[in-house]
Amino acid sequence: MKRSTIPLILGLSLLAGCAPVTPASVFLKQVPVNSARTAVQVPSEIRSSLYELAEEITPAYFAASEKKNQIFSPLSLWTALGVLREGAAGETLAELNRLMKLPAGFDSSKVIPDLTRSLNFMTASKLLRDKPDESKYGIRLTNGIFFDSRYAANIKSQYFETAASVWSAETAQVDFTKEKETKEIIRQWVSDKTDRFMEDYEATFETDGSAILNIYNVLYLTDLWLVPFQKLQNQTFHAPSGDVQVPFVGRLADGTDYVDHAKAQAVAFPGEQGIRVWFLLPRGEAEPLDLIPELASILSEGSPALVDFKAPALDINGENLSLKKLLIDKGYTNMFLSADLSNMLSGVTASVTEIKQKTKLQLDEKGFKAAAVTEIGVGKTSLPGDNKIEFTLDRPYLLVIEYQGLPLFISRIQDPSEK
């Protein structure tokens, strides 16, 4: 480093003369995980901004994927964009406000710290108290900034300070010209943040010396059903390409949240840590994507019902999908073509080079896990009652994982036999 202008980061000079550097030693700041969950009153503007972003981006994200089953995290993308937003000014800041669905005067420092802390907890299960299990359950929301040592003097210390204090961003110094070494550092970091649930993540960056920094958000959650499902025999799922036989789970649930909507039936099941999984089955000729504009209303209308529920077990490994083209096609061009990142950088002209997201989802009779990694590259530029409701997800449907009213993941299931 040419100058010590980043007080929240430990000097790399401490590493001089030490044993061979391991990937973990590049980290200059790391954020601990809370040992218990804390409730927070989510501001209505945050909740509405996430649903609006989900409505605009989710269909395009699914359309860009070649997989039959897709999963997208509005919260992961929104949070990564929020870290980028702290370094933006002028038209780039205005564009990020439009994309994130935030008012021009939004002050992240008054809202985000409490929200990020409430979405970063892991605790032991009380349901498994009598059984040996060292696993932790909850949500881990982690932001990371990996910056190239060549540009350390160009990155403003205030940007690092704000990213850390507002968004709890971890920081690490790397050398992007050393492709294999740096990809391994980031892969291991993602693996650690997801308890090895996502072990194959591959970062994207230029190796010609033009890469300045990459921003990452990792959203990982794992929970046990408050009431476990039963493992059922294989059943028929009517996929668009033909019927398939897949394992199902299910149970007769009394008092579970059920929504009878004009476009869909919807039912929610809670996990022990307060995370809820919603299953939305379209009515008539409606398709799963037709339900996305209705998500905010559907997910808030549940009432207790007796539901005979059956659904496929899931194991979905999403693509590491680029969002750059779809965002440009929607008119978000400034950040990619002529970005103003003057609140982040000095002495160098830069723009956003890529935005990508990789996701993964597993669901069985015991519980569920989901993870998303959003990467932003910055580079130098040149019914209630006793009536039983039959609810069998045997055709394409939508799945939403929600916590405190926030849509964490949205998944379209078309063929559960495919990963």
Q: In the structure encoding, which two tokens stand for residue 302, read together? A: 């549940």
**CATH classification code of 42-223+316-380:** 3.30.497.10
User: What residue type is 190 in one-letter code?
Assistant: V
Question: What's the pLDDT score for residue 301?
Answer: 72
Residue 331, phi-psi category: left (phi > 0), alpha (psi -120 to 50), beta (remainder): left
Question: What's the pLDDT score for residue 132?
Answer: 64
**pLDDT tens per residue, range 113-127:** 999 989 999 999 988
Domain boundaries, the chain: 42-223+316-380, 225-313+384-413
Task: Kindly state the average pLDDT of the residues 102-106.
Answer: 92
Q: In the structure encoding, which two tokens stand for residue 67, read together? A: 């997989």
Report the percent of the chain where pLDDT is more than 90.
77
Taking the CA of residue 38 as centre, how many other CA atoms within 13 Å lie in the half-sphere pointing to its CB?
Answer: 11
280 vs 286: CA distance, rounded Å: 11
Does 321 or 13 have the greater pLDDT score? 321
Helix, strand or coil for residue 347?
coil
Question: What's the pLDDT score for residue 158?
Answer: 96
**Where does the pLDDT of residue 2 fall: very low under 50, low under 70, confident under 90, or very high at 90 and above?**
very low
Question: What's the pLDDT score for residue 302?
Answer: 81
Lowest mean pLDDT of 5-19, 42-56, 195-209, 221-235, name the range: 5-19
Does 12 or 57 have the greater pLDDT score? 57
- The closest of 293, 242, 302 to 270, measured between CA atoms, is 302
Question: What's the pLDDT score for residue 386?
Answer: 59
Question: What's the pLDDT score for residue 12?
Answer: 31
Residue 11 has pLDDT above 80, yes or no: no
91 vs 173: CA distance, rounded Å: 29
**pLDDT tens per residue, range 365-395:** 999 999 999 999 999 986 444 578 889 999 9
**Where does the pLDDT of residue 335 fall: very low under 50, low under 70, confident under 90, or very high at 90 and above?**
very high
Residue 272 has pLDDT above 80, yes or no: yes
DSSP code, position 225: B
CATH 3.40.50.1950 fits domain 225-313+384-413: no
- Mean pLDDT for the chain? 89
**pLDDT tens per residue, range 13-62:** 222 333 334 444 476 677 888 888 887 888 889 999 999 999 999 999 99
Element (DSSP H or E) covering residue 288: none
Contact yes or no for 282/303 (Cβ under 8 A): no
**pLDDT tens per residue, range 146-192:** 999 999 999 999 999 999 999 999 999 999 999 999 999 999 999 99
Lowest mean pLDDT of 31-35, 79-83, 263-267, 414-418, name the range: 31-35
Contact yes or no for 394/236 (Cβ under 8 A): yes
Residue 281 has pLDDT above 60, yes or no: yes
Question: What's the pLDDT score for residue 419?
Answer: 75
